[in-house]
Structure 1
């Protein structure tokens, strides 16, 4: 089961890194990404449900950074299909942000 508090803490740390370093701290970014990738690839069906039903648009936007990594690790066509469903529910600014992330995820299949 995905630990929602842990997920939110990782996203908050990723935002802090972006704000404080203007994304110039590769080690910190990679640490956040690795934690999220480990968390979200344990059970892809649970992850799909989590992203579709629990995550806020802002959280989806930050998680978009690792969509490709999730697909690369899981080879899940269901995950890519879920990304398209999620995309349709997002506000326009988030759609713009995650469109390239979804395209990269598709190419990772």
Structure 2
């Protein structure tokens, strides 16, 4: 089961890094990404449910940075299909932000 509290803490840390370092702390960003990738690739069906039903648009936006990594690790067509469903439910500003990440996730499928 995805630990929502831990997920939110990682997203909060990623936001803090963006604000305080203007995204100029590669090690910190990579640490956040690695934690999220580990968390979200343990059970892809659970992850799909989590992203579709629990995450806010802002959290989806931050998580989109690792969509491609999740696909590369899981090779899940179901995950990519879920990303397209999630995209349709997002506000316009988030759609614009995550569109490229979804495109790269699509291209990552073998």
TM-score by length of 1: 1.00
Describe the superposition over 1:19-70 as per-residue Cα deviations: whole angstroms up to 9, x where unpaired.
0000000000000000000000000000000000000000000000000000
Structure 1 partner of 2:13? 13
Give 1:30-69 correspondences, 5 Å limit. Answer: 30-69=30-69
Tell me the distance in 2 between the aligned counterparts of 1:34 and 1:82.
Answer: 21
Structure 1 moving runs of 4+ over 3 Å: none
Structure 1 partner of 2:70? 70
Report the aligned-residue RMSD: 0.2
Structure 1 partner of 2:103? 103
Tell me the distance in 1 between the aligned counterparts of 2:107 and 2:26.
Answer: 24
Tell me the distance in 2 between the aligned counterparts of 1:99 and 1:46.
Answer: 22
TM-score by length of 2: 0.99
Tell me the distance in 2 between the aligned counterparts of 1:101 and 1:20.
Answer: 24
Structure 2 partner of 1:3? 3
Number of aligned pairs?
Answer: 109
Structure 1 partner of 2:80? 80
